Amino acid sequence: MMATLPPNVPAIQFDGVSKVFQGRSAVAGISLKVPQGSFTVLVGPSGCGKSTLLNMAAGLDGPSEGYVFVHGRETDGPTPGAALLFQNYNLFPWMTALDNVAFALRNTGLRWRAAREEAGRLLAKVGLAAYAGKVPAELSGGMKQRVALVRAFALKPRLLLLDEPFAALDHQTRKMMQAYLLTTWQDSGATVLMVTHDLGEALALADRVVLVSGSPGSVSGVIDLDTPRPRDASDPALRAVARRLETHLEAEVARGEFSPAELAALSRFITLPTD
């Protein structure tokens, strides 16, 4: 079990981090601290290095320059206590939805029978009780993503790294999974670092929105949100944050960090759904 960290030690710290792939610079000179227990969201156009930062936080890759610290230690291989969820689910194709989740629960010390019972309860919370006996090939993309998220939390991670986790979901299912993610995160005390292109999603979920721009990617702005959850799109404080975010993005376009098309793609999400 990992020791408790002093509260001033960030869960993740990128210190002057740059990463080069085959002569191409993905990120350059990024310094960023992710507080313990926070919900931090990285937002930016495709190709600006957001997923690269997730991989380095997970310890799956290292920086070309600079340092990455997780829970006070420099990364050197896979990060203990971290779970990384990609868009492609990574479910075991030969296992049912139930057994995919139960397998993770077995790694927390539960016996197989207890793990399967708990897996059934968790799948029911995300509307998948009737599909617990199905293998991934028999599930829709949205269902597979729900199973993958439940499995990630079943591991009781200290750090949860999410790469566009709800991109394949319809609006109604996305809202249900956002609520599940928030509730489970708040109960767990874990730190979340998430990538999304959906500004409405970032405003609904995050404590902190980090804007990543350019190629190579760099941090161009950090906006903290302290409005209570669940967030109401009509809340003047939240609307003020949305306006600040949009103003910042417009300034990025003026500096050439975003194209007008990228701004339009991001900004169409700036209005939070009210239903």
As a whole number of angstroms, the distance between CA 198 and CA 41 comes to: 10
Residue 69 binned pLDDT confidence (cut-offs 50, 70, 90): very high
Residue 273 binned pLDDT confidence (cut-offs 50, 70, 90): very low
Residues 205/182, Cβ–Cβ less than 8 Å: yes
Q: Where are the domains of the chain?
A: 91-156
CA distance readout (Å), 17 to 45, 196, 252 = 19, 21, 21
Strand (E) positions, 22-129? 24-34, 39-43, 65-70, 73-74, 82-85
Residue 257 pLDDT exceeds 80 = no
pLDDT value for 110: 92
pLDDT value for 266: 57
pLDDT digits 0-9 by tens, 103-146: 999 988 899 999 999 999 999 988 999 999 999 999 988 899 88
As a whole number of angstroms, the distance between CA 250 and CA 254 comes to: 6
pLDDT value for 56: 95
Residue 218 pLDDT exceeds 50 = yes
As a whole number of angstroms, the distance between CA 155 and CA 147 comes to: 13
Q: Whole-structure pTM over 0.75, yes or no?
A: yes
Residues 24/3, Cβ–Cβ less than 8 Å: no
pLDDT digits 0-9 by tens, 197-207: 888 888 889 99
pLDDT value for 195: 93
As a whole number of angstroms, the distance between CA 157 and CA 191 comes to: 9
Residue 259 binned pLDDT confidence (cut-offs 50, 70, 90): low
pLDDT digits 0-9 by tens, 99-111: 999 999 998 889 9
Q: Which amino acid is at 229?
A: R
Q: What percent of the chain has pLDDT over 90?
A: 45
Residues 125/75, Cβ–Cβ less than 8 Å: no
Residues 49/212, Cβ–Cβ less than 8 Å: yes
Residue 63 binned pLDDT confidence (cut-offs 50, 70, 90): very high
26: left (phi over 0), alpha (psi -120 to 50) or beta: alpha
Residues 70/84, Cβ–Cβ less than 8 Å: no
Per DSSP, the three-state class of 8 is: coil
Residue 264 pLDDT exceeds 70 = no
